[in-house]
A and B are shown apart, each in its own frame.
Chain A
Amino acid sequence: AQSVTQLDSQVPVFEEAPVELRCNYSSSVSVYLFWYVQYPNQGLQLLLKYLSGSTLVKSINGFEAEFNKSQTSFHLRKPSVHISDTAEYFCAVSDDFGNEKLTFGTGTRLTIIP
């Protein structure tokens, strides 16, 4: 069975400051990793994903995440945040044995302070 831990339930950050949202996973098999974002009163949207290849993956709006197998982590970073980044961020994992099931972390609420 897999699990995902997002240690920070809330992260307040000043506008234009950098941010890191932490995600650690536990699995006995190879995994695929995802970050989803949920804006208020909306469904989740995929932000970025790691399936294979380069361990550093980037989104179109400046976020990036690095897969670290030895530390079983997939932390999300952005060098300079904007008010529009205010949202809840979910890390998720699935195994690579054909099961499409995603296991989500409990989420991190990112609040941008003007």
Chain B
Amino acid sequence: DAGVIQSPRHEVTEMGQEVTLRCKPISGHNSLFWYRQTMMRGLELLIYFNNNVPIDDSGMPEDRFSAKMPNASFSTLKIQPSEPRDSAVYFCASSLGGRNIQYFGAGTRLSVL
């Protein structure tokens, strides 16, 4: 199994640009999570989906952030427009749901200049 796959691994962009982060969950998993990790705030849950439906998006910072899961094998997290304070490592994780283990991808390191 290839695990959770995130792309790109690194993204450098300028303030105001649109950024799209991608995630492919483990096949057969029906829950998907997006996290953000920063030195100041630690690891925060942004949003999670179950069976492609957003269940809890209370962690999404503001309207500049949006997430979609058009099918069971793909999700995107979009930031438009990006700001320097969005610089962080963004992780995607997937699970079988319920109390099952969340498996994390390697993350996308985003730098907004």
Chain A residues at the B interface, C-beta cutoff of 8 Å: 32, 41-46, 49, 51, 90, 94, 99-107
Q: Say yes or no for B82: interface residue by CB 8 A criterion.
A: no
| Residues of A close to B104: CB separation below 8 A | 43-45
Determine chain B's interface SS by DSSP, over half rule.
Answer: strand
Q: Say yes or no for B98: interface residue by CB 8 A criterion.
A: yes
Contacts A49-B101, A101-B48, A107-B42 given; does A43 touch B31 at CB 8 Å? no
Interface size on B, residues (CB 8 A): 23
> Given B31, B43, B105, which contacts A100 in the complex, CB threshold below 8 Å?
B31
In the complex, number of A-B residue pairs with CB atoms less than 8 Å apart: 48
Q: Which A residue sits closest to B40, measured CB to CB?
A: A106
Instruction: Give the distance in Å from the alpha carbon of A104 to the alpha carbon of B38 in the complex.
Output: 13
Q: Which A residue sits closest to B44, measured CB to CB?
A: A104
| Residues of A close to B91: CB separation below 8 A | 43-44
Chain B residues at the A interface, C-beta cutoff of 8 Å: 4, 31, 33, 42-45, 48, 50, 55-56, 91, 93, 95, 97-99, 101-102, 104-107
Contacts A100-B31, A101-B56 given; does A107 touch B99 at CB 8 Å? no
Instruction: Give the distance in Å from the alpha carbon of A41 to the alpha carbon of B97 in the complex.
Output: 26
B95 lies within 8 A of A42 (CB): no
Q: Which B residue sits closest to A98, measured CB to CB?
A: B98
